[in-house]
Amino acid sequence: MKLLKIIMVLIGVLVLIISSVSVSAETLTDESGDVYHWKMTGSTWSWQPSTDPKSYIDITELTYTTSEDKFTLSMKVSGEIQSSGNVEYMAWVNTSDATYQMYVMGGQSFGMAMNTEDDGFQVDWNPNITISGNTVTCTFDLVGTDVIGSEFYGWAWEYEELGAENQELWQDWIPNTSSPFWDEDGDGNGDEDGNGDGDVNGDGGGSDTNGGGTPGFEAVALISALAVVIIILRRRK
């Protein structure tokens, strides 16, 4: 009888321990062969399905998992992760009280996790990032209490020369609905309102009314610039 009571107490303690550890996971999948190509000549540009498969930026899966005090973010592509200076991979997860960001650019990697609550500040500037074949994985310290992603997306892109008058860009997003070439109807036919938001039909629709730059990528450019600065500062240490 005494042994039975001890066993029941141990089971109860085990249940409490397990229930106190918040664990969560989410996986997004994306079909291969859906890389898009953006080409600009002067002020005219268009989004079109890429005729080049670009398997190294063709995202197939994006996953985050949490376990105990760690938050892991992982991206897979159909080819192999590249270290070219013109290729970039990025993934982002927001929860109600934290943000987790992963970047790989030109063979350099960077990750940042930050608690967004006003009453506490936690940050992880040095997560463990590994690249193996078709997968890049970033493991952060858990900086918030919420482990459910409210925003979860990623992109991979390759460009020829940003800032040049004539530019070309290949890109894949996960999920597709986060991409700049996905219209509000969800049919992937672009925004044909004439404001330069993209025409994937290849008939030259859309123009850059701001006189330059990549439409829909202002935030992307800022994020990338911040990551580059941090990577340079880290390399100088």
How far apart are the C-alpha atoms of 200 and 189, rounded to whole Å?
6
Dihedral of the alpha carbons of 164, 80, 25, 186, in degrees to the nearest 10: 50
Give pLDDT, residue 170.
92
pLDDT in tens, 188-220: 544 433 333 444 433 333 333 233 344 344 444
Radius of gyration of the chain, Cα coordinates, nearest whole angstrom: 21
Residue 84 binned pLDDT confidence (cut-offs 50, 70, 90)? confident
pLDDT the model gives residue 48:
86
User: How many Cβ atoms from other residues are within 10 Å of residue 127's Cβ?
Assistant: 22
Q: What digits encode the pLDDT tens for the residues 159-189?
A: 887 555 567 889 999 999 988 887 644 445 4
Give 41-66 pLDDT, tens digit per residue. Answer: 667 778 889 999 999 999 999 999 99
The three-state DSSP-derived secondary structure of 155-198 is EEEEECCCCCCCEEEEEEEECHHHCCCCCCCCCCCCCCCCCCCC
Residue 104 has pLDDT above 50, yes or no: yes
pLDDT over threshold 60, residue 223: no
Q: Which of 151, 146, 91 is nearest to 115 (CA)?
A: 146
Q: CA-to-CA distance for 139 and 127, rounded, in angstroms?
A: 6
Please give the Cα distance from 28 to 9 (Å, whole number).
40
Distance CA 186, CA 164 (A): 31
Nearest Cα residue to 89 out of 110, 67, 68: 110
Q: For residues 49-73, b (16+ Cβ closer than 10 Å) or e, as one string?
A: ebeeebbbbbbbbbbbbbeeeebbb
Mean pLDDT calculated for residue range 20-37: 82
